[in-house]
Amino acid sequence: MFLRLGKPGYRVWMMIWISAFFIFWEGIAWVLHLFMSPQQAASRLPYLHQVLEAFIRYSGTLAEQGAVTFGNAALGFAGGALLGLLLALLMSAAGWLERTLSPYVVSSQMIPVIGLAPIVYGIIHNAAWARILMAAYVTFFPIIIHTLKGLKSASREHLELMLASGASRTAHYTKCLIPSALPGLFSGLKIAAPLAVTSSIVVELMGAPDGLGVLMVSSLYYGHAQVGMFWATIMLSMGIGMISYLFISLIERWLTPWQPEFRSTGGGSA
């Protein structure tokens, strides 16, 4: 659904959605301004056009700080994805390893990011590495779960055929297991990408020297005078997460054209 950008009908629906979002935001802000003072209403929800004006006015600062947040999140996301993929492959190859690691993998996610971030930042005293580690932390779990499920969903008939033909262990993975796991892997990647950005921002809220989280805190400090900047930072954070999701979706469409949702629209030829 997110990939049919070239379809006229999809473009129409996108315009309708954007227009409805703009009208809804402006309507809520207008209602708040009716019952509150301008300062109180603006501090809760400013008009969307004011946010867009702040976005343009501070575009240089937002781009610079957004690049810092996105860069650290991307590094952590890549590291967490590689770790999750490696563990999923090892756990699928050895049942005893899956039984041993599964409780630790699940229990590691019981610690909330908002509680773990200040601990990690306080231990290593390096904002960049703290953001990378937290992004990797929220990434590896969905990758393991979805990839492992995909590896186990491989066709039994295909595996038996490869076994009967004397295929090597490597061939089992490259020709059957990994292709079967790709849809699950991309599901995990699409879940983890926005979370990696969010976790990096959480670390920045704990006192990092730069990043979107720092802009959020400084904007709140100045109250309604910088409320446009605050909401512009939030919108940029949302945009980074959405772009990451769409980019992974495009790669998924390219690498897994056999999936039903892609076959119905022409697979990878569109």
CA distance 241 to 255: 21
Structure-token pair, residue 150: 């995909």
Higher pLDDT, 206 or 191: 191
At residue 264, the pLDDT reads 59
Out of 35-44, 80-89, 120-129, 238-247, give the one with best mean pLDDT.
Answer: 80-89
At residue 6, the pLDDT reads 47
Mean pLDDT of 94-101: 87
CA distance 215 to 60: 13
At residue 174, the pLDDT reads 79
* Residue 5 predicted with pLDDT over 50: no
Higher pLDDT, 199 or 22: 199
Write the secondary structure of 187-238 as one string of H (helix), E (strand) and C (coil): HHHHHHHHHHHHHHHHHHHCCCCCCHHHHHHHHHHCHHHHHHHHHHHHHHHH
Question: Phi and psi for 256 in degrees, rounded to 5?
Answer: -130, 60
Let me know: does 208 contact 143? Beta carbons within 8 Å.
Answer: no
Q: What angle do CA 89, 93, 97 make, to 5 degrees?
A: 90
* Residue 60 predicted with pLDDT over 90: yes
Mean pLDDT of 116-127: 89
How high does pLDDT run on average in the chain? 84
Q: What structural domains does the chain harbor?
A: 1-45 (no CATH), 47-269 (1.10.3720.10)
Q: Is residue 84 within a helix (H) or strand (E), and if so which, with residue range?
A: helix 59-93
Would you place residue 138 in the very low, low, confident or very high pLDDT band (cuts 50, 70, 90)?
Answer: very high
User: Which amino acid is it at 204?
Assistant: E
Q: What is the DSSP letter of 176?
A: I
* Residue 192 predicted with pLDDT over 90: yes
* Residue 260 predicted with pLDDT over 80: no
Contacts with 243 (C-beta within 8 Å, 6 or more apart), sequence order: none
At residue 225, the pLDDT reads 63
Mean pLDDT of 52-57: 90
